[in-house]
Structure 1
C-alpha cells in the first residue's frame, strides 16, 4: 500500500531535499505534488487528498498556519507535519492546536523526519484497518478482541515457530486453530478471512518488533484483495499457509544475514583486541547479543568455537613476532594476550609441537 504525501514550502532547496529524502528513503510514500505557498497547498489537497502534508510555516499569500487550519477543517484525517524555525515555535504550537500531528525544527535532520513519517504510516495503516472492519456490519471491535483472545492468544508461540523455520509445526498450529473455529460454527468464510488477515497484519508487526528490524510487512487491504477470489475454506487455508511460508523464508534470510554480519563484527573485534584479556561475554556485548547465542552462530559460521579462534589469532601473531623480532618470550606472550609466559609456552607447544624458543631457532 502506497500513501500520498504533499510538500508545501516556498524554498526550492528545502523542497528538493525533502523530495529526495522521501523518494529514496520511505518506499511506502508517493509524492503527489509540491506547493510553494499555503494557497497552492490547499488546492492540491482538494484535488489529491494526500495522507500526509509537510507544511512550512512562513510562506507568502497563505502561510502554513492558515493552510493547516483550512486543510484540517476540510479533511480531518490528514496528517500535517509543521516545519518551522526555532524563533517561530509559537506558530508550531498553534498549528498543533489546529490539528497538526507533529512539528520539526529547522534544520531538519533526515533520521528525525524518516522516524516521524514511519510512525505516521503505521498510524494510518491502523486507522484504515479499523475503518475497513467497521465497514462490515458483522465486524466490531469487541468481536475482534474476542477472536484474538480465544484463538490466537499464542501469537508469540507462532512467532517462535516461524522464526525457527518449522514449516510443519506452523501448519499444524494453523490446522488446530482453524479446527477450533470450525467447531464453533458461527464464522462465515468472509468473516474468517477478515479475522485471519487481521491476524497476519498483527503477526508481521510482532515479527518486526521482536527482531528490531523490518523483515516483512502485511497490509490489510492488499491481503483482503488478494484473497477475494478464494471461494472455499480449503483454498483460503492453503493460501494462508503459503503466506506463512513466505514469512518463514523472509525470517530465515533476514536472520542469516544478521548472523553473518554479527560474526564478521565479532571476528573483527577479536582481531583488534586479541592482545587484551578478551572474553566471549565482552565480544557478545560489543555485537549486542547474549553470549550463548553468539557462541552458537560463531561456531556454525566459523567451524570452530570462540576460544579456539582467539587462540589461533594469538598464536599466529606470536609466530610472526618470534620470527621477526628479538623480544623475549615473556614480552611476546604479553603482546598476544597471555599474562603468564609459562601458560603461553604450553599452549604454543601443544599447537606446534615446539616451544616458542625452539620455534624461533628453527625459523631464524
Structure 2
C-alpha cells in the first residue's frame, strides 16, 4: 500500500522568559495553525540562539526584554547564520528605539503584549505563507538551474517577485538573475496596470492576454522594454527603466508611457479601459518594493475617482494617516439609531457617515474601505444589541455580501452599506415592537419579586435574555422611567406600607426593602416622599 505524502509543517521557535506566555503561544498554534509546529522553547536570548542554530526554525518569535541576552541581540545572532528565518518581536513596550531596531533587523512583525489570539494567528499565518513562498522559490531556483534558459517565463516571474520583496543579497546577484531573464538593466520605477472590468469567461482571458502583449511590446523612454509580470488575472506589475535623474522626471516619463498604453488598449479593444498606478522613483534597486507600494496606493484612488485613469501620488492629496476624529461621533449616532430601531435617524446617520467617508476616500482610499467595513460591523453589533437573532441578521448580511462582492467603487460600497443599515434597522424596529409588552411585563414581575435583594440592571436583563444596553432603553420606552427610578419606586412604596402597618425599626425596614445602609435609605425616602421615614410614620 502506497503511503500518502504528508504536508510539511513549518517550524516555530518560541522565546519568552514567561512560561505562561510560551504556553499561550503553543496552545494557539496547536489549536489554530495545523500547518505550523512549535519545535522548541527558550527562556532567554542565549538559550534561544543555541536552539535556533540546532533547530533552524522557519519562524523565530521572541520577547525583547529578557535576562542574559535580550531578544534584539538574540535575533541579530540568529540572522547571521539563518538569513531565511523570519523574526517576530513581542514586547510590552511600544518604544520607538525597539521598533527602529526591529526594522533594521527586517522583522516580520512587532506585537505588543498582551497578545490578542487573533493578531497572533494572523501574523503567524503571514509568516507561514512567506515560508511557503521561500520554499517554493528555493525549489524553483533548483529547477531553473537544471533547465537554464528554457524557463525564461519563470525567470521573469521569479525576478519580479524578488524585486518586489527586495530579496537580493547584492546588486551583482540581482544583475545576474536579470541577465538570465533577458534583461541587461535594473528598473527604477514600478507601475501597476489593471483591467477595469474583470470578466470570468474566455472573453476576459483574451482581453487580458492582449493587454499583456501591448505592455511587453511598448518600450519605455530610451527604447527599453519593461519587465511585465502578471501578478493575477487582469493585474500587471510593470518594472520600468526611465533613466531619470529625479523623482518628478521619472514619474512624468512613466506617465507618458502609461498614456501610450491606454491609447493602444483603447485602439485594440473597444469598451475596455485600464487603470494605471505610477509608483515613486526608485533611485536604487532596493527601493523598488517602496515604489511598488506607492503604485498600489496610487491605483487605489480608482475607488473614489473611477476607472480608466492614470494615478500617481505626486498628483494626489494622499494622507497615509488621515484624521478620523469627526467620524467617531457619527458612527456612534448610527449605532444608537440602529439599536433603537429608528429608521429615520439611521438613514440620516448613515448619510452623514458616508459623506465623511467620501472625504476620507479622497485622501486615503484604503482607509476609507477599511472604515466602511468597520461601520458595517458596528451596525451588525448594534442590531444584535437591539435584540436581533443570528438568523435575522443573516437575512440582511447575505444580500449585503453579494452586493459587496461586485462593488469596485465608493458609490457601490456606499449603496451596500445603506442597504445593510436599512434592512437591520427595520428588523430591529419590528422585533422591538413585538418584544416590548411581554418582555417588560416579565422583567417587572421579576423586580417585584426580588427588589429586596441587591438587584442590578444586568441581572434583570439576563432574565429576559436581552443585553443590558438594549433592555435599559426598552424598559424606559415602555414604562416611561428608567430601571433605577422604577426600582426605587417599588422599594419606597414597600417601605411606606411597612411604616404604616408594622412596628419594625427604620433600619429593619430599610434592609427589608433592599437598602443595606439606613442613612442612604433615609436620604432616598425623603427625596421621593418629601419627608424623612420617621416623620412619615
For the aligned pair, the TM-score class normalised by the smaller chain equals: 0.3 to 0.5
- The structure that is helix-richer by fraction is 1
Superposition TM-score, scaled by structure 1 size: 0.43
Superposition TM-score, scaled by structure 2 size: 0.30
Q: Which has the larger radius of gyration?
A: 2
